[in-house]
């Protein structure tokens, strides 16, 4: 499942520095001028999960394979992007292709780093991005309304229903609100499904602070946290430059010394990656055997045959049953055999909804 989180923000807020830190497979250029990033960089990263280490110790496999998520470093946005200013059209098209947004916001003062928007103001910076995305969405909504109005005379009740939903969306955007705040459900989502609204995507904020505020935050990050709470969003407070330095260290010992120096228990990136993973409404199940322990990504709410399909489509087509052990039971009883003997290995059918952390084997026939 190549699900992507797009890293966005104004120019020179630390997007590419964050991408450099978060990505295992690519290095983005991080420079102090506008539009340093033009073509989006894409990096696939492992999702940190302590459960993998525990299963590895219990099973002693030949290899372990974590699950992954992709991050996309997208060009910096400027005011007027919805009208094509700067790299606006390209930027917005790139956002349209990702599944969630990681919005990096500057929460530090540094006169050596260019800033054209005036004094440091994370709320105003957020609103610049929001406004441009809302204006683009408004254009998309109005164009679809125009198309449907030509069809409404045919008396199709579905067209009329979609027009009502789109009218609500239009008013919502006019009020400077994001579509994700409307919580469209069921058939309502069909009205916007084909226009891929930007403000419908889930968002996670990164408050890029200076070293002094790394553990405690500052007045800028505090204001951002308060704002995010009002819209039900999460803020990760971190120093992107420090995170980039951590990734350059080669040994665990060096990293532990670095953590100790800054009072950290783990990289802020781990929190970011896990939060982005959850933001995409994803969970993990495991397969565990002597050849490998592997983590698999699925959407919350998927049933067993769907979960099996991420291993191979034949697993879904020929699904018979799933052998399931809850993670906590596997840890308690140590082995699959012990779980079976103690009644903790369950046989589940097609209607079973997979739970986060399930250890599974599939029976299938094709």
Q: What's the CATH number where 357 sits?
A: 3.10.20.30
pLDDT per 10-residue tile (average), the chain, 366 residues: 83 86 54 48 88 97 93 71 50 85 93 77 93 92 92 79 95 94 87 93 96 94 95 93 87 88 89 90 96 96 97 94 98 97 97 98 91
What pLDDT is stored for residue 1 in this prediction?
Answer: 56
Which pLDDT does position 187 carry in this prediction?
Answer: 85
CATH assignment of the domain containing 20:
3.40.50.300
Please state whether beta strands 235-238 and 203-208 pair in parallel, antiparallel, or not at all (unpaired): parallel
Determine if residue 14 is labeled as part of a ligand binding site. Answer: yes
* 214 and 359 part of one domain: no
Query: Is 225 found in the same domain as 192?
Result: yes
pLDDT of residue 92: 78
pLDDT at 337: 96
> In this structure, is residue 174 part of a structural domain?
yes
Is residue 295 a part of any domain in this protein?
no
Q: What is the pLDDT of residue 170?
A: 96
> Do the beta carbons of residue 351 and residue 322 sit within 8 Å?
no
Same domain, residue pair 43 and 192: yes
Residues 153 and 272 in one domain: yes
My answer on whether 81 and 173 are in the same domain is yes
Residue 187 lies in a domain: yes
Distances (CA, A) of 75 to 29, 32, 242, 322: 11, 13, 22, 44
pLDDT for position 85: 47
Nearest to 205 by CA among 275, 108, 115: 275
Alpha-carbon distance of 338 to 350, in angstroms, equals 25
Same domain, 11 and 69: yes
Looking at residue 76, its pLDDT comes to: 63
Say how many domains are in the chain.
2
- Determine how β-strand 4-8 pairs with β-strand 100-106: parallel
Q: Residue 106 domain-assigned?
A: yes
Range(s) of the domain holding residue 43 = 4-278
**End residue of a domain, out of 278, 311, 331:** 278
Do residues 274 and 311 both lie within one domain? Answer: no
Whether residues 260 and 357 fall in one domain: no
288 within a domain of the structure (yes/no): no
Domain boundary among 278, 309, 337: 278
- Shared domain for 181 and 64, answered yes or no, is yes
Boundary residue ending a domain (244, 278, 312): 278
The answer as to whether 335 is a domain residue is yes
Residue tagged 């087509």 (tokens): 317
pLDDT digits (tens, 9 = 90+) for 263-321: 888 888 899 989 999 899 999 999 999 999 999 999 999 999 999 999 999 999 999 99
Query: For residue 285, what are the contacts with CB-CB under 8 A and spacing of at least 6?
Result: 295, 296, 298, 307, 354, 355, 356, 357, 358, 359, 360
Residue 296 lies in a domain: no
Q: Sign of dihedral through CA atoms 149, 154, 157, 159?
A: negative
Q: Is 217 annotated as contributing to ligand binding?
A: no
Do 341 and 202 belong together in one domain? no
Q: How far apart are CA 349 and CA 143, in angstroms?
A: 45
Q: Which residue from 76, 20, 78, 75 is spatially nearest to 29, judged by alpha carbons?
A: 20
Q: How far apart are CA 35 and CA 56, in angstroms?
A: 44
- 8 A C-beta contact, residue 307 and residue 285: yes
What pLDDT is stored for residue 63 in this prediction?
97
Same domain membership, residue 317 and residue 266 = no
The verdict on 75 and 145 lying in the same domain is yes
| Cα-Cα end-to-end distance for the chain | 23
How far is the C-alpha of 10 from the C-alpha of 229, rounded, in Å? Answer: 21
Query: Domain for residue 164, yes or no?
Result: yes
Pairing of strands 4-8, 68-73: parallel
Query: What's the mean pLDDT when you consider all of the chain?
Result: 88
Tokens 């120093």: give the residue.
239
pTM: 0.85
């Amino acid at each position: 499942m190549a699900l992507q989180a797009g890293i966005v923000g104004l120019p020179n807020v630390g997007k590419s520095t964050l991408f450099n830190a978060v990505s295992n497979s690519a290095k983005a250029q991080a420079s102090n001028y506008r539009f340093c990033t033009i073509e989006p960089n894409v990096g696939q990263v492992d999702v940190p999960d302590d459960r993998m280490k525990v299963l590895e110790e219990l099973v002693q496999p030949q290899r372990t394979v974590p699950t992954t998520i992709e991050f996309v470093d997208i060009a910096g946005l400027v005011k007027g992007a919805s009208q094509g200013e700067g790299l606006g059209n390209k930027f917005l098209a790139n956002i349209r292709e990702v599944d969630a947004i990681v919005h990096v916001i500057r929460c530090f003062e540094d006169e050596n780093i260019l800033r054209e928007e005036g004094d440091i103001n994370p709320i105003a910076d957020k609103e610049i991005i929001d406004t441009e995305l809302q204006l683009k969405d408004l254009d998309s909504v109005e164009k679809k309304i125009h198309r449907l109005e030509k069809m409404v005379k045919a008396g199709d009740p579905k067209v009329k229903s979609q027009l009502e939903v789109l009218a609500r969306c239009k008013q919502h955007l006019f009020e400077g609100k994001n579509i994700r705040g409307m919580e469209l459900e069921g058939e309502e989502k069909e009205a916007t499904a084909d226009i891929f609204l930007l403000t419908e995507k889930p968002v996670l904020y990164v408050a890029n602070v200076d070293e002094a505020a790394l553990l405690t935050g500052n007045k800028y990050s505090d204001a951002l946290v308060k704002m995010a709470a009002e819209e039900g969003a999460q803020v990760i407070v971190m120093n992107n430059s420090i995170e980039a330095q951590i990734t350059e260290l080669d040994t665990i010992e060096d990293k532990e010394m670095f953590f100790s120096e800054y009072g950290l228990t783990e990289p802020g990136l781990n929190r970011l990656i896990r939060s982005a993973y959850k933001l995409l409404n994803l969970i993990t199940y495991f397969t565990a055997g002597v050849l490998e322990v592997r983590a698999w990504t699925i959407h919350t709410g998927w049933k067993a045959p769907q979960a099996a399909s991420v291993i191979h489509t034949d697993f879904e087509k020929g699904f018979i049953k799933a052998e399931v052990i809850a993670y906590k039971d596997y840890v308690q009883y140590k082995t699959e055999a012990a779980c079976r003997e103690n009644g903790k290995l369950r046989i589940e059918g097609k209607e079973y909804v997979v739970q986060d952390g399930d250890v599974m084997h599939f029976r299938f026939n094709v």
